Amino acid sequence: MKMESHLLKPTRNFPNNPDLPLIIYRAVTPKTGTPVALFFEEIFTKHAWPAAWRYTMYDFAHYHSNTHEVFGVFQGHARVRFGNGSGFETSLDMGDIVIIPAGVAHQRLNSIDNFEAVGAYPEGFSPNMHYGLPDDLTAMLHQIEEVPIPSTDPAFGSKGSLITLWKETLHTHSR
């Protein structure tokens, strides 16, 4: 398994998250005969990120200002963009997990083979939807700053990169 992290700066219309990096775990799959979707639902729920949906990523740029999000790809392949204009594009395949900090724009650009993922949010949180309207930016930045850092990484619990990367950020920036 390979881990990537990407810090995404605000753009004119999207706040992104200048403090917490987006995390991608590549090729995380069950070692047993467990179906990949069920595997993601079980590990996310086990680590206090209850599985909330099975679906695709929307094909328009959006973000959530009130919660972080995780999704685990269980089917297909997609080209996605994170962070909108100041961000990056990447491909996601079955077995990839993406932890998206509150405020980070995300969008599916194209997909094949019925691209679908399991999505989840930290326990007790449900997402709002924002579409990058310029008038919302200042208010959303303040709301994003108030979203707490979860106590566990949705994929690896207390041993995951969210704990090390995001907790270090907490100490560095005194959020």
Condensed to tens digits (0 to 9), the pLDDT of residues 39-78 reads 999 999 999 999 999 999 999 999 999 999 999 999 999 9
Least confident of 56-60, 79-83, 132-136: 132-136
pLDDT in tens, 93-125: 999 999 999 999 999 999 999 999 999 999 999
What residue type is assigned to position 62 of the chain? Answer: H
Query: What is the pTM (predicted TM-score) of this model?
Result: 0.95
- Gap between the Cα atoms of 171 and 137, Å rounded: 25
Residue 115 backbone phi and psi in degrees, to 5 = -55, 125
Task: Write out the two tokens for 95.
Answer: 């077995």
- Gap between the Cα atoms of 46 and 130, Å rounded: 29
Distances in whole angstroms, Cα of residue 138 to Cα of each of 10, 12, 24: 11, 10, 27
Spatial contact of 149 and 44, defined as CB atoms under 8 Å apart:
no
Give the per-residue pLDDT at 31. Answer: 83
What residue type is assigned to position 99 of the chain? Answer: I
Distances in whole angstroms, Cα of residue 55 to Cα of each of 72, 81, 172: 10, 17, 36
Residue 24 backbone phi and psi in degrees, to 5 = -125, 125
Least confident of 27-31, 39-43, 94-98, 149-153: 27-31
Highest mean pLDDT: which range of 100-104, 131-135, 166-170: 100-104
Give the per-residue pLDDT at 172. Answer: 59
Confidence of residue 86 (pLDDT cuts 50, 70, 90): confident
Residue 12 backbone phi and psi in degrees, to 5 = -60, -35
**Angle of CA points 38, 56, 42, to nearest 5°:** 20
Give the per-residue pLDDT at 18. Answer: 87
Q: Give how far the C-alpha of residue 86 lies from the chain's centroid of Cα atoms, to the nearest Å.
A: 17
Distances in whole angstroms, Cα of residue 80 to Cα of each of 33, 98, 107, 135, 171: 28, 11, 6, 25, 31
Residue 88 backbone phi and psi in degrees, to 5 = -150, 160
For residue 164, give the 3-state DSSP assignment.
helix
